[in-house]
Amino acid sequence: MSAPLILVLNGPNLNLLGTREPEIYGTDTLDDIRVVTERTATQLGCTVDFRQSNHEGVLVDWIHEARGTAAGIIINAGAYTHTSIALLDALKGVSLPVIEVHLSNIFHREAFRHTSYPGRAAVGVIAGFGGQSYVLAVAALANLIKTAA
């Protein structure tokens, strides 16, 4: 039996992590976060497909592709968190468990960041722990996947 696959999606500007506003997002690069996310998933008996795009339609396509291949989705939609009904509809349409992650605590930031569309399709939201948010999300999703099996 193969290890359950967790799709980890990252939205716009997350490719700039490590240099973009390190006082908010920290100094870990997206590749640093990918490494610890994959390591955690392996320890928990899962595999990870870790992706990033600056394009909303690409993220929607990847969510659609997850149907029938992934056991769950972790998403950091970046700025699309606060604007994308398309991502919300895609996540709802694939009927997979979803966990939303954010590096910063979006509720301690500007008021417009307090709204999350993808979060409405998520079983949970983890925010404010930097790169550790992804590790926590993998642990939570792996648990959900195993208890549903």
The structure's pTM equals 0.93
- CA distance from start to end of the chain: 12
pLDDT, average across residues 83-112: 87
Q: What range defines the domain where residue 15 resides?
A: 5-148
**Residue 134 catalytic?**
no
Note the residue count of the chain: 149
Give the total number of structural domains in the chain.
1
Q: Which are the contacts of 112, defined by CB distance < 8 A and separation ≥ 6?
A: 82
**Residue 114 catalytic?**
no
What is the pLDDT of the chain when averaged over all its residues?
92
Report the pLDDT value the prediction gives residue 1, as an integer from 0 to 100. 63
Phi, psi of 6 (to 5 degrees): -110, 120
Report the pLDDT value the prediction gives residue 148, as an integer from 0 to 100. 84
CATH of the domain at 99: 3.40.50.9100
Q: Which of 25, 80, 117, 134 is catalytic?
A: 25
Q: Dump pLDDT digits (tens) for 35-75.
A: 999 999 999 999 999 999 999 999 999 999 999 999 999 99
What residue numbers does the annotated binding site for substrate cover? Answer: 76, 82, 89, 103-104, 113
